[in-house]
Structure 1
Amino acid sequence: MKTREVEHRERGRADHNVDRGMTPPVDRMTDHRFGVSGFADEIGPDLDEQLDVLESLGISRLDLRSVGETNVLDLSDQQVSRVRSELDERGIQVTSIGSPIGKIAITDEFEPHLERFERAIEVADAFDTDRIRLFSYYVPEDDDPEQHRDEVLRRMDAKVERAEAAGVTLLHENEKDIYGDTPGRCRDLLTTIDSPNFRAIFDPANFLEIGVRPYPDALLQLIEYVEQLHVKDAQFGERGAVEPAGDGDGQIPATISALADRGFDGPASLEPHLERAGERSGYSGPGGYELAAEALFECLDSVDATYE
């Protein structure tokens, strides 16, 4: 008898790198909309300042990555409760847990990381969100990513099975230098694992930084799996040259339009990285964050996208 993992792997290989056309458009007049959100820790470490800036921009959601320079997974239960109370008092919902799960080397030990993943599920429940951002492991610099495919899939499949049991959705971000940094390998993961609890974050800037055109090239391969848009722009093939939406080569208005035509109903999350882009976080400052938010609003308005 074939195991679920083997069956998924065989099916995924047959579908690996298939280039599919866009899904037929839907009626935009139906109740599909972008929920504007953002990684508020890029404003600064202080939660009150973060919430003040979000409120001034009319944004009522955030992606929770860190508070006071402490990663959300490292907050104590008491700290989690306090942060949840502050968010509730200010009317702010948590869109996703911006976890660092999967941001270790594929050669690192897995079991301790799986225990940390369990904490991500607990924190997601505490903040009443069913979305957890994660990654697919750094590949050693001189290695062919394909030689690590089976181990990546084994680890991802273990987490997805746990997510299915917990009722959460794992959102894979196409981060630079991980296994799933190209559209083909992202699609390979998604089609092989083949679970409604495993979907994609589409980050145009991350594709640009590795020399991939996010629109239309990457989006053509991934659009049916995209459940969250990370909003930052960049110059093609240049690492670290992150810009507000619409100022780079990401064709973000066209991406928004294509998602809207497909009936996208999910978060568009600001992750500007305008002043600093670190492995575990980024920083834009209050002014930079406001600039990035206004750029996103302009992109949404330019294609008549519905958002809130």
Structure 2
Amino acid sequence: MTDAPRWHLSGFGDEIDADPRVQVAVLQALGARHLEVRSAWGTNVADLTDAQVRELAQILDAAEHRVSAIGSPIGKVDISEAAGEVARLRRIAEIAHTLDTRYVRIFSFYRAEGVTPEQIRDDVIAALTELAGVAEDEGLVLLHENEKDIYGDTPDRVADLARHVSSPAFRLAWDAANFVQVGARPHTDGWAELAPHVEYLQVKDADLATGAVRPAGDGDGEVEATVRALAASGYAGFASLEPHLTEAGRMGGFSGPAAFGVAARAFARITDRVGVQLV
């Protein structure tokens, strides 16, 4: 009998509380030893001062807790503002190095009202290619999240990016709920083509009829099918909880400690059935 796959459980700590000490304490109580850093003390990670980053690193070190990824806002701007994202990524790189992680979540740009995805495609690919070049220089890996209303929100456009941003520093974060919210059946419609490019799992689900976010397995995101496929492929990376069970907005979401626990236990029921061990 082969050993069970071991995945590293993580989560967006700011969905628990603004205070990183509380974030770490709740995550550890749920069995996680990693944190995805999107904000701390109510400040977005891209805007943290050097002193705040050092303090965050000290909090994590004291708790023997590590960072799975920087949940950056890079690319969560209109494509017309793409040039400014290079400087922001260089700042994010400094923070990533201090927090000892190589993964940085990014997005593939919004567009103005009345502008089609096809009209911004070439500019998006050029901008992401430039950002990937910065990431390569910094020893980082960019994880594209399929956020609703950016260029890469549907499986076919995410596949377009995966094919044409030709850099080892550009990979995919799989978010089933976001695919549901643009009308896709995530595993059925996208897994076969996107699987070779997936490097990171973000965990939330959603209802196809309403778009409401649900705990994993309670929506239409085919989460268990994807977990089974990842396990069969030998995946041994991160599973990062992003529940959005209390609030969900364009720049993030919130759950609170209790709802975050609900999300963690729902995902654990799936991994238990599949035979994946969360560490």
Name the TM-score, length of structure 2 as normaliser.
0.96
Corresponding residue to 1:152 among 88, 108, 124: 124
Corresponding residue to 2:140 among 168, 180, 192: 168
Contact 1:212 1:237 in 2 (8 A): no
Task: Please list, as runs of the form range in 1=range in 2, the aligned pairs for 1:225-236 lying within 5 A after superposition.
Answer: 225-236=197-208
Give RMSD over aligned pairs. 1.4
What's the CA shift for 1:238? 2.5
Corresponding residue to 2:159 among 176, 182, 187: 187
Pair 1:254 & 2:225 matched: yes
Give the match for residue 264 of structure 1: 235
Letter in 1 for 2:251: R
Higher RCO structure, 1 or 2 (CA under 8 Å, sep 6+): 1
Listed one character per residue, the Cα deviations across residues 104-148 of structure 1 (whole Å, up to 9, x for unaligned) are 01123x332221111111111110000000000012232220111
Pair 1:60 & 2:27 matched: no
What's the CA shift for 1:32? 4.5
Q: Look up the SS of the partner of 2:105 in the other structure.
A: strand
Write the distance in 2 (CA, Å) between the matches of 1:213 and 1:243: 15
Pair 1:128 & 2:89 matched: no
Corresponding residue to 1:280 among 243, 247, 251: 251
Pair 1:38 & 2:11 matched: yes
Give the match for residue 5 of structure 1: none
Could you list the runs of 5+ residues in structure 1 that have no partner in the other structure? 1-27
Identity %: 45
Q: Look up the SS of the partner of 1:51 in the other structure.
A: helix
Write the distance in 2 (CA, Å) between the matches of 1:91 and 1:30: 26
Structure number with greater Rg is 1
Q: Look up the SS of the partner of 2:10 in the other structure.
A: strand
Q: Look up the SS of the partner of 2:278 in the other structure.
A: coil
Give the match for residue 46 of structure 2: 73
Listed one character per residue, the Cα deviations across residues 255-295 of structure 1 (whole Å, up to 9, x for unaligned) are 10001111112111000000001222210011000110111
Could you list the runs of 5+ residues in structure 2 that have no partner in the other structure? none
Corresponding residue to 2:79 among 97, 103, 106: 106
Give the aligned length. 279
